[in-house]
Amino acid sequence: MAALFEHSPWVEDRADARPSSGDRHADLMAVVNEATSEEQLALIRAHPELAGKAAIDKTLTDASASEQASAGLDRLTPQEYEQFHALNAAYREKFGFPFIICVRLTDKAGILAAMQARLANDRETEIATAIGQIGEIVRLRLEDMAA
């Protein structure tokens, strides 16, 4: 079975150790929201950069590769690649973790616009936004598993 959270099996393990509410997504996100700030940062940092090195050297998880391809991130022009690379670097420099967005709910232009806009946020806002986006990614992955 594909992992719901990038390189972070602890989230599912903790959710499985609790009584279920009957809403798997809510149970999983409760674990994430109750995690320590260090654990939340580790979860965020487990995600690959969009159109980054992992996409080039083929070390993305199957789920991430498919999701990035759905937004066209596997078919960037050299100019688009440079734009993503520059924004990824600026974002990581400012916040200390990769930019996360649920790419299945947007497209290349939307992702680039969000990257630029979110660079103006403070770190706490971006941590909360990244956790929310991870929640959307997991919700869609759960829906795929149920289909």
**pLDDT tens sequence across 24-58:** 999 999 999 999 999 999 999 999 888 766 555 56
Q: Is the pLDDT of residue 95 over 60?
A: yes
pLDDT at 55: 57
Return mean pLDDT, the chain.
91
pLDDT at 53: 60
Of 7, 25, 47, 85, which residue is the catalytic one?
Answer: 47
Residue 49 is assigned to a structural domain of this protein: yes
CATH value at residue 102: 1.10.3330.10
How far CA 46 is from CA of 42, 82, 117, 123, 136, in Å, comes to: 6, 23, 23, 17, 16
47 belongs to the catalytic site: yes
What total number of domains does the chain contain? 1
Residue 87 is assigned to a structural domain of this protein: yes
The H or E element containing residue 85 is helix 78-95
Q: Identify the domain containing residue 128 by its residue range.
A: 27-146
Residue % of the chain over a pLDDT of 90: 72
Residue 18 is assigned to a structural domain of this protein: no
DSSP state of 104: G
Q: Residue 59 — very low, low, confident or very high, per pLDDT cuts 50/70/90?
A: low
Token digits of residue 122 = 């403070």
How far is 114 from 77, CA to CA, in rounded Å?
19
Token digits of residue 63 = 């789920």
How far is 120 from 90, CA to CA, in rounded Å?
11
pLDDT at 124: 97
